[in-house]
Structure 1
Amino acid sequence: MKILIIEDEKMLAESIKTLLVSKGFEVDTAFDGITGQEYASLGVYDLLILDVMLPCLNGYQIARKIRNEKSGIPILMLTAKSALEDRVEGLNSGADYYLTKPFDSRELFACINALLRRQGPQINELICGNTSLDLFSGTLFCGKNSIRLSAREFDVMRLLMQNPEHNLSKEMILAHVWGYDSNAIENHVEVYVGFLRKKLTGIGSNIKIVAIRRLGYHLEVQEIC
């Protein structure tokens, strides 16, 4: 389960992240509205924890943008703004639950569990063309052929398969797979895309990782002669 926290109070964001990681969640953080919006638009998260008072874009604006994209990701709005009109605006903008600061960690986990339960059974594989990616084993399958991916290969491949119609820039892939604080450079993306291309060819996949100059990478289904 992947959770995105958009919170400009870095100490609070890291504290929540530590709590969630201890419960087995995979967590990313963003500290301003624009970065948070970019992360949320990737469509790879199971839950969004969203502050209201953020630099660049506020939480209400982010929630509206997400809902305008027809995304059904659960949104837990976490904020110090506790007035009735604030809660109403939060819910009307697309939040599923409005939790005010300060909060008890038990209530936070109860809200998260309740929102995730609404999602029903979780998808355990991604499919594109004649190829599937098993999310539990990190294995690519194509007919009777299969190949296990390394952790980085899996993260890059999953990101591409979750966004098959979108060009993902090297910067976006770096931020999502390696993290903003990483020393990784764009060449790392190129190297792992190269690894994945070889593995896809090796199992007879009809999907191709296409590079578009200045825009990034996306998947295309190719006809196999």
Structure 2
Amino acid sequence: MFGSIDLMRDSLSLHILIVEDNDNLREATQELLAQNGHQVTAMSCAEDVDDTPTRDVPDLYLIDVNLPGENGFSLAERIRKSHPAAGVVLMTARGQLEDRLQGYSCGADNYLIKPVEQSELLVCIQSLARRIKFAKSNEEFDLVLDVQALNIRGPLGSVSLTYPESLLLVAMTRAVGQKLERWQAMQLVDAKDKGLSPANLEMRISTLRKKMDACGAPAEAIRTIRGFGYALSCRFKVV
């Protein structure tokens, strides 16, 4: 559990995703970060990161190493490949040198040994926040997705979206590797479960591709992955 300390809130607010299977520690960490002005999403396993759509890609991932199923090293490596600008902090009781080296090799910015003091965690996050905000302010995007106006904007103009199309693109932008399985895409496009067929789903995806092409998206902005589903091949800024 965290030690107690009164630390001034930092003005750099982040969207932080916690992946921790210990319920008490996950809830305590979520409360601490929320109290310090951050938007926090908390999950108990790596698989939930892929299966739970959120509005935008997290700025920072706080990951336990010893997770059920996929471990934190593997998850950190996938996140670093798909979201190079994101912060990745591993937090674990595994403090041996070989463990720390593996963590950094997987792309972690910091490797914190449990039990972690509040002050150390918050200062670590504040330090990363400066780098993350600078990177995001200078990052180039292919398209802008406006979830309120239901449109996408690019170098060739703006194109209107349907609500399901917007949900699908948001889910793809925040998924690890920007990939969704076919069943996930079907649930987003056909939320009322009216029996959408794979052929109809492919037609919907084709229509979305044409809309993205019309506003200037790169070629093959949505790729079909045989036997799996779909992958987004361009960079979106979600507003």
Same fold (TM over 0.5): yes
Between the aligned partners of 1:174 and 1:116, the Cα distance in structure 2 is 35
1:54-73 pair list within 5 angstroms = 54-67=67-80, 71=84, 73=86
Secondary structure at the aligned position of 1:53 is classed as coil
Q: CA RMSD in A?
A: 4.9
| 1:60/1:93 contact within 8 Å kept | yes
Deviations 1:176-214 (A, max 9, x none): x8xxxxxx77669999x96xx68x85xx64768787786
1:13-162 pair list within 5 angstroms = 13-22=26-35, 23-29=37-43, 31-33=44-46, 35=47, 38=50, 44-67=57-80, 71=84, 73-119=86-132, 120-122=134-136, 126-128=141-143, 132-134=144-146, 139-141=151-153, 143=156, 145=158, 154-160=166-172
Q: Letter of the 2:61 partner, please give it.
A: L
Q: Please report how far the alpha carbon of residue 18 of structure 1 lies from its aligned counterpart in structure 2 after TM superposition.
A: 3.6
Q: Please report how far the alpha carbon of residue 49 of structure 1 lies from its aligned counterpart in structure 2 after TM superposition.
A: 0.9
Residue equivalent to 1:9? 22
| 1:126/1:133 contact within 8 Å kept | no
Secondary structure at the aligned position of 2:142 is classed as strand
| 1:126/1:135 contact within 8 Å kept | no
Residue equivalent to 2:4? none
Residue equivalent to 1:216? 229
Q: Please report how far the alpha carbon of residue 47 of structure 1 lies from its aligned counterpart in structure 2 after TM superposition.
A: 1.6
Deviations 1:82-140 (A, max 9, x none): 44554344334432112222223343222112123223242588435xxx325897753
Between the aligned partners of 1:187 and 1:103, the Cα distance in structure 2 is 48
Between the aligned partners of 1:21 and 1:170, the Cα distance in structure 2 is 34
Percent identity, aligned pairs only, is: 27
Between the aligned partners of 2:232 and 2:83, the Cα distance in structure 1 is 22
Greater length-normalized contact order (CA 8 Å, ≥ 6 residues apart) = 2
Between the aligned partners of 1:84 and 1:45, the Cα distance in structure 2 is 29
Between the aligned partners of 2:149 and 2:85, the Cα distance in structure 1 is 26
Residue equivalent to 2:180? 168
Between the aligned partners of 1:125 and 1:61, the Cα distance in structure 2 is 27
